Chain A
Amino acid sequence: MTLRPILTSRFALVPGAIAAAAFVWSIYADLNAGGLVTGVVTDALGQPAPGAIVTIGERNITSNFVERARVTTDAAGRFRFEENASHMLRLQATGADGARGEPTIVRLWFRAQNVELAEPLRLRSRTP
């Protein structure tokens, strides 16, 4: 009895295809899991907000979001966080003048996925 009919049957092909897809996905995830989160904070007018503090919270099953770190934006309003270990983050920016932005939920495809935020974190204008 040859192996060919067994290997070409649907009982081998379907599990094999699933295993191959899982393997490829695992390699892709491993290569892109640097834990890097980058983005920009802007003020209410859309201008970069230097010196803003970005609070980063991680999703947890027992509590909703746990604060993980705080990073400060540079002169161009950019922030960079390199130690993300979660698959879901909540980012909230607070401007140097105390203006706060809306919390932004960032969902990732796998833990520690490198991500650059497509949309800036926008601060609200501070009410006098």
Chain B
Amino acid sequence: MQRPRIWPRHAAMVAVSAAMLVPFYWVAKTAVTNENIYAYPPSFLPEDPHLFNFVDVWYLIPFSGYFWNSAIVSGIAVGSNIVLNAAAGFALTKNFPGRRWVVLLLLSCMLIPFQATIIPAYLITAKLGILNTHLGLAAPLLTNIVCIFVYKSAFEAVPPSLLQAARIDGLGELRILFRILLPLSKPAIATNVILSFIWSWNAFLWPLLVTRDAAMATLPLGLARFLSYVEDTTGALYAFVCMVLIPGLVIFLLAQKEFVRGLTSGATKG
């Protein structure tokens, strides 16, 4: 029996992947040159590439300060996401009165765009006295409904007999969650880490509203400020974009296997 040829399919996939990577390549190419992006005809290969644009970004603005602010905010968001989402997901695997309504409420909340909740969110943050703080910057990202359902799906895949055995051995519900369910749900954790990190790392509107001084600005705000100050350095601007993108890419590449498994783990269940 003749095996089907797979190279045409692979060639098509390579072509589509290459087309999707062109914008990233263009950003990286502009970052290592001083080419004007409007130059015509555009050159595909970089001419006289160098890394000095990255040095410019590092020193012309307080990049390290912005970076640490973003890292702290993302760390708070990722940490609280893992704990709160896992706890909520675990609760939703149990039978309790009104469970269906809770699920419906959560799903309906997903329909409300963030922009519609900005004013109440701002007022609550102000009442709590955490405006212009790292916690205030991370506040709307402390939990996420999508990830709650990712955890719920992952926890439901764990055999109930395992949980019953743990209960017979005297484990409480919290210890079952942290000692048994979470170690068995690494794909769900990876999914949550990647999504919450990228969302908090790239957040622009909320940090713009709650920061009062430049020392609390995160990288997206720094990028906007850099763009307003520096008008003639296309290369430095794109170098800034690369420096903002790299941490997210590293985290995604590190956890991509678990991420893909986490997103598809619930797909074949009834």
A residues adjacent to B (C-beta < 8 A): 10-11, 14, 18, 59, 61-62, 86-88, 107-111
Provide a sorted-by-A list of 25 A–B residue pairs whose CB atoms are within 8 angstroms.
Answer: A10-B254, A11-B254, A11-B255, A14-B250, A14-B254, A18-B250, A59-B56, A59-B60, A61-B60, A61-B61, A61-B229, A61-B230, A62-B229, A87-B55, A87-B56, A87-B59, A88-B52, A88-B55, A88-B56, A107-B52, A107-B55, A108-B55, A109-B52, A110-B55, A111-B59
CB of B257 to closest CB in A, whole Å = 10
Expressed in whole angstroms, the Cα–Cα distance for A88 and B254 within the complex equals 35
**Beyond known contacts A61-B229, A61-B230, A88-B55: 19 more, CB 8 A cutoff:** A10-B254, A11-B255, A14-B250, A14-B254, A18-B250, A59-B60, A61-B60, A62-B229, A86-B59, A87-B55, A87-B56, A87-B59, A107-B50, A107-B52, A107-B55, A108-B55, A109-B55, A110-B55, A111-B59
Give the total of B residues in contact with A, Cβ under 8 Å: 13
CB of A50 to closest CB in B, whole Å = 32
CB of B166 to closest CB in A, whole Å = 17
- Residues on A with C-beta less than 8 A from B55 are 87-88, 107-110
CB of A5 to closest CB in B, whole Å = 13
- Residues on B with C-beta less than 8 A from A61 are 60-61, 229-230
- Residues on A with C-beta less than 8 A from B230 are 61
- Residues on A with C-beta less than 8 A from B58 are 87
Name the residue of chain B whose CB is nearest to the CB of A107. B52
Expressed in whole angstroms, the Cα–Cα distance for A72 and B60 within the complex equals 29
> Interface code B55-77, partner A: CB below 8 Å = 1, 0 otherwise?
11011110000000000000000
- Residues on B with C-beta less than 8 A from A108 are 55
> Considering the complex, which residues of chain B in the window 67-109 have a beta carbon less than 8 Å from any beta carbon of chain A?
none
CB of B182 to closest CB in A, whole Å = 14
- Residues on A with C-beta less than 8 A from B254 are 10-11, 14
CB of B247 to closest CB in A, whole Å = 10
Expressed in whole angstroms, the Cα–Cα distance for A58 and B50 within the complex equals 20
CB of B235 to closest CB in A, whole Å = 11
Name the residue of chain B whose CB is nearest to the CB of A1. B183
Expressed in whole angstroms, the Cα–Cα distance for A88 and B61 within the complex equals 14
> Interface code B170-189, partner A: CB below 8 Å = 1, 0 otherwise?
00000000000000000000
Name the residue of chain A whose CB is nearest to the CB of B250. A14
Expressed in whole angstroms, the Cα–Cα distance for A59 and B59 within the complex equals 10
- Residues on A with C-beta less than 8 A from B229 are 61-62
Expressed in whole angstroms, the Cα–Cα distance for A107 and B56 within the complex equals 9
CB of B25 to closest CB in A, whole Å = 23
Expressed in whole angstroms, the Cα–Cα distance for A62 and B58 within the complex equals 15
Expressed in whole angstroms, the Cα–Cα distance for A11 and B252 within the complex equals 11
- List the 8 closest pairs (A to B, CB-CB), nearest first: A107-B52, A61-B60, A87-B59, A61-B229, A87-B55, A10-B254, A11-B254, A14-B254
Expressed in whole angstroms, the Cα–Cα distance for A111 and B59 within the complex equals 8
- Residues on A with C-beta less than 8 A from B52 are 88, 107, 109
CB of A44 to closest CB in B, whole Å = 27
Expressed in whole angstroms, the Cα–Cα distance for A10 and B230 within the complex equals 38
Expressed in whole angstroms, the Cα–Cα distance for A11 and B56 within the complex equals 30
- Residues on A with C-beta less than 8 A from B56 are 59, 87-88
Expressed in whole angstroms, the Cα–Cα distance for A76 and B74 within the complex equals 56
Expressed in whole angstroms, the Cα–Cα distance for A108 and B55 within the complex equals 8
- Residues on A with C-beta less than 8 A from B61 are 61
Expressed in whole angstroms, the Cα–Cα distance for A109 and B58 within the complex equals 10
CB of A94 to closest CB in B, whole Å = 26
Name the residue of chain B whose CB is nearest to the CB of A111. B59
Expressed in whole angstroms, the Cα–Cα distance for A88 and B230 within the complex equals 15
Expressed in whole angstroms, the Cα–Cα distance for A20 and B148 within the complex equals 36
Expressed in whole angstroms, the Cα–Cα distance for A87 and B54 within the complex equals 11
